[in-house]
Amino acid sequence: MDSTMIIIAAIVGLAIGFAIAKFMEKGKASKTIANAKKDAAQILKEAKIEGENIKKDKILQAKEKFLELKAEHEKVIIGKDKKIGEAEKRTRDKESQVSSELAKNKQLNSQLENKMKEVEHAKEFFEKKQAEVDKLHKSQVQQLEVISGLSADEAKSQLIESLRDTAKSDAMGYIQTTLEEAKLTAQQEARKIVINTIQRIGTEEAVENCVSVFNIESDDVKGRIIGREGRNIRALESATGVEIIVDDTPEAIILSCFDSVRREVARLSLHKLVTDGRIHPARIEEVVKKTEKQIEAEIVEIGKRTVIDLGIHGLHPELIKAVGRMKYRSSYGQNLLQHSREVAKLCGVMASELGLNPKIAKRAGLLHDIGKVPNTEAEVETPHAILGMQWAEKYGEKPEVCNAIGAHHDEIEMKTLISPIVQVCDAISGARPGARRQVLDSYIQRLKDLEEIAFGFGGVQKAYAIQAGRELRVIVESEKVSDEKAAQLSFEISQKIQTDMTYPGQVKVTVIRETRAVNVAK
């Protein structure tokens, strides 16, 4: 019973507790619902207020946008109205201009019609006058035919015959006068062209000789160059073909040879040997061979540089080499390369003045003397103009160039206008003052004049003009000339030479004063 009661009590307690819990949960839920409704109403109120504010802002923005668009639209409308007004104004101006032009055209048309009427009247008047003149002319011709007894055709033929004879005689006289004037004008124009050509070419005076001087630092080197019993100098002469003169000239050795190429080879070889210090026959032969190759390369380079300077293109390599060899040749003392360059420039200028091709003229002028640098002994016997022409033909030069080379000394007939131009320019280059070396008499006379100037001063015992007139040695008497006087005498002699003489280069005046004490033992 007790346990049953307990179970019933527990069940009743649970039921009461469950009922109480449900009641309390219901009250709590109603309270939560009330709070939620209150919050929702508050949120709805705030959302409504915010929506009203947004609505007002959007309405305000829309109004502002509307006002802006309205203002822009009004501006566009005003601009279009302005353009329409300007267009209307231009149209009105055009209409007024067109109307004025129409009025002018009407006035001009009326004037033109009046002029046409006047011209028609004048034409009719002149036609009437012309008919009257024709009638009068026919009547006069008939009267003349009756008076002269000739018809009009016969009179016309006689008149033409007389006029033909008169015209023929007048024409002959005019032709004669014209020919004389043409000859005179041609001579004047030729002189003018030659003078202008000479004036436009400036060249230096060039005098070449057959002697070169090799300078050394001291006379001790001379013994090394001579060698034991002269073997070095003999080897050098044999290898180069140059005569080497070792005399008392201080610090100098003279190289003598008519062939300037060999002289240059000998000079450069000596320079290399002296600089190197090893001087013996085997070394001499080696250096000479190397120097010959160097000179050959230098000749080719000189030829190329020459043709480039003159603007000549397409020249055969053998002809270029011949041009380079001309640097080491001379004609009557005039350097052959300088002479040929000068002739080429003269030919180019003269050909331009005459309306000919200056490039061909310069080509012929440069090559006109290549026959003076023959390669073999057999070619020496051929005249240089003919030899040069043969070389030009062999290496593909144009016929006018070949003819100009062969005819510049009248060996062959001239066939082109370039030939006489080359001949004239060659004569101009060779005949100008200072172009070619003085003759032997004038050279000897110049040396005598140097010595006579020295003898003109007091105290001079002996005077020698040496080194081809480049130095004057004066020996004075020591009793009459002191050391101070010797220096003054050297200056006075040099000034006298400079004032009274004409000479190439410089003249060195050396005054030597020597004191000797001589006694005789008996």
Which are the contacts of 222, defined by CB distance < 8 A and separation ≥ 6? 216, 246, 253
Enter the pTM of the model: 0.44
Q: What percent of the chain has pLDDT over 90?
A: 1
Residue 369 has what pLDDT? Answer: 86
Please tell me the distance from the alpha carbon of residue 443 to that of residue 438, in angstroms, as a whole number.
6
- Please calculate the CA angle 342-343-348 and round it to the nearest 5 degrees: 100
Average pLDDT value for residue range 4-10:
80
> Which residue reads 């020459």 in tokens?
306
**pLDDT tens-digit profile of 49-91?**
888 888 888 888 888 888 888 888 888 888 888 889 888 888 8
Residue 481: pLDDT above 80? Answer: yes
Residue 453: pLDDT above 70? Answer: yes
- Which has more confidence, 14 or 162? 14
- Which has more confidence, 370 or 517? 370
Residue 437: pLDDT above 60? Answer: no
Residue 202: pLDDT above 50? Answer: no
**pLDDT tens-digit profile of 129-180?**
888 888 887 777 777 767 766 666 776 676 677 777 777 767 776 777 776 7
Residue 107: pLDDT above 50? Answer: yes
Residue 312: pLDDT above 70? Answer: yes
Phi, psi of 243 (to 5 degrees): -85, 125
